[in-house]
Structure 1
Amino acid sequence: MIGLGAGRPDRIVAVGAHCDDIAIGAGGTLLTLCHTRPGIRVDALVLSGGGTEREQEEQAALAAFCPDADLRLTVLKLPDGRMPVHWEEAKAAVEELRARTDPDLILAPRTDDAHQDHRGLAQLIPTAFRDHLVLGYEIVKWDGDLGRMTAYQPLSAQIAEEKVRLLQEHYASQRHRPWYDREAFLGLARIRGIECHERYAEAFAATKITLNLGG
Structure 2
Amino acid sequence: MLDPVPSSPATLSDGSSPTGGAVLPDGVDRAATPPQRVAVLWCRRTADTALRALTSLDLIPLLLAPADTEEFLATSGEPSVLVVDCDALDAEAADVLARIRAAHPRLSVCALAGADASRDGLLHALRIGVAEVVDPARPDDLAAVLTKVVESPAHVRVLAVGAHPDDVEIGCGGTLLRHRDAGHAVTVLTLTLGDQGGRPTDRRREAVGAATRLGAELLLADLADTRLDEEVGLTRLVEEVVAAVRPTVVYVHSAADQHQDHRAVHEAVVVATRRVPEVYCYQSPSSRVGFSPTRFVRVDDTVGEKVDLLGVYRSQSARHYLEPDLVMATARYWARQLPHIRHAEPFEVHRASGDGADLH
Which of the five TM-score ranges fits, normalised by the shorter chain?
0.7 to 0.9
Alignment partner, residue 33 of structure 1: 179
- Is residue 2:280 matched to residue 1:135? yes
Contact 2:299 2:344 in 1 (8 A): yes
Q: Residues 1-215 of structure 1 correspond to what in structure 2 (within 5 A)?
A: 9-37=155-183, 40-49=184-193, 52-66=201-215, 71-88=216-233, 90-132=234-276, 133-141=278-286, 144-145=288-289, 147-156=291-300, 158-168=301-311, 170-197=312-339, 198-210=341-353
- When residues 12 and 3 of structure 1 are mapped into structure 2, their CA distance, relative to the original with a 3 A threshold, is closer
Q: Distance in 2 between matches of 1:172 and 1:135?
A: 28
- When residues 182 and 85 of structure 1 are mapped into structure 2, their CA distance, relative to the original with a 3 A threshold, is same
Shift of 1:210: 4.2
Q: Deviations over 1:38-77 (max 9, x none)?
A: xx322221111185221110011011123xxxx3321111
Contact 1:138 1:146 in 2 (8 A): no
* TM-score (normalised: structure 2): 0.51
Q: Distance in 1 between matches of 2:313 and 2:264?
A: 24
- When residues 20 and 193 of structure 1 are mapped into structure 2, their CA distance, relative to the original with a 3 A threshold, is same
Q: Deviations over 1:67-98 (max 9, x none)?
A: xxxx332111112211111232x223202102
Contact 2:157 2:185 in 1 (8 A): yes
Shift of 1:26: 0.8
Q: Aligned-residue CA RMSD in angstroms?
A: 2.2
Contact 1:17 1:117 in 2 (8 A): yes
Q: Deviations over 1:19-43 (max 9, x none)?
A: 0001111110111111121xx3222
* TM-score (normalised: structure 1): 0.84
Shift of 1:144: 4.8
**Alignment coverage as a number of residue pairs:** 199
- When residues 134 and 175 of structure 1 are mapped into structure 2, their CA distance, relative to the original with a 3 A threshold, is same
Shift of 1:196: 1.7
Contact 2:2 2:296 in 1 (8 A): no
Bigger mean CA deviation after superposition, 202-211 or 91-100: 202-211
Contact 2:252 2:280 in 1 (8 A): yes
Q: Deviations over 1:111-165 (max 9, x none)?
A: 2222111111111112121122111111124x65473311111012x41111112
Letter in 2 for 1:208: R
Contact 1:192 1:202 in 2 (8 A): yes
Letter in 2 for 1:105: V
**Unpaired runs of 5+ in structure 1?**
none
SS for the counterpart of 1:206 is: strand
**Unpaired runs of 5+ in structure 2?**
4-105, 107-153, 195-199, 356-360
- When residues 78 and 145 of structure 1 are mapped into structure 2, their CA distance, relative to the original with a 3 A threshold, is farther
Shift of 1:194: 1.1
Q: Distance in 1 between matches of 2:354 and 2:213?
A: 33
Q: Distance in 2 between matches of 1:79 and 1:149?
A: 29
Q: Which has the larger radius of gyration?
A: 2
Structure with more contact order per residue of length (Cα contacts < 8 Å, sep ≥ 6) = 1
Q: Distance in 2 between matches of 1:3 and 1:100?
A: 28
Q: Quick one: percent identity of the two aligned structures?
A: 29
SS for the counterpart of 1:76 is: strand
